[in-house]
Amino acid sequence: MTRLLRKLGMIAATLALVAGVGLSQTSSKEQKLTGVISDTMCGAKHMMQGSAADCTRTCVGKGAKFALVVGEKVYTLNGHDDELNKLAGQRATVTGTVEGSTVNVSSVRGS
């Protein structure tokens, strides 16, 4: 009986490990997200006078990162800063791997 319980425990542990590996591979799959290009300092609500694009560029110039606002969610964007700068304050589709609230950008296009 003890031997059977040990084998079942090992099988359960192996299945949990395999399931965990499957989940981590799924989370790194490339995705497309569409929203507005902003910055991590302001998110969806810009605090400066002027346009959203000017505010975004100023905040990024002061050390914030570019961000994508999708509904209520704000994603930090890594990479393709030159393209993101051109689309600051505008609606865009970002393709990349999502890790939590960060997107490692592989491409950007205006929407």
pLDDT digits (tens, 9 = 90+) for 17-31: 444 433 334 456 899
Domain membership flag for residue 5: no
* E strand or H helix that includes residue 70: strand 66-70
Would you say residue 19 lies in a domain?
no
The reported pLDDT for the residue numbered 25 is: 40
Distances (CA, A) of 50 to 40, 78, 102: 18, 25, 27
Residue 4 lies in a domain: no
Residue 25 included in any domain: no
What total number of domains does the chain contain?
Answer: 1
Residue 42 lies in a domain: yes
For the entire predicted model, the pTM comes to 0.74
Q: Is residue 87 part of a domain?
A: yes
For residues 63 and 9, give the distance between their C-alpha atoms in angstroms, rounded to a whole number.
Answer: 50
Q: Is residue 22 part of a domain?
A: no
pLDDT (0 to 100) of residue 9 = 52
In a domain, 16, yes or no: no
The whole-number pLDDT of residue 39 equals 97
Tell me the per-residue pLDDT of 23-55, one tens digit each, with 9 for 90 and over: 334 456 899 999 999 999 999 998 888 999 999
Q: Which pLDDT score, from 0 to 100, does residue 27 have?
A: 53
**Domain range enclosing 63:** 30-110
Residue 51: per-residue pLDDT: 95
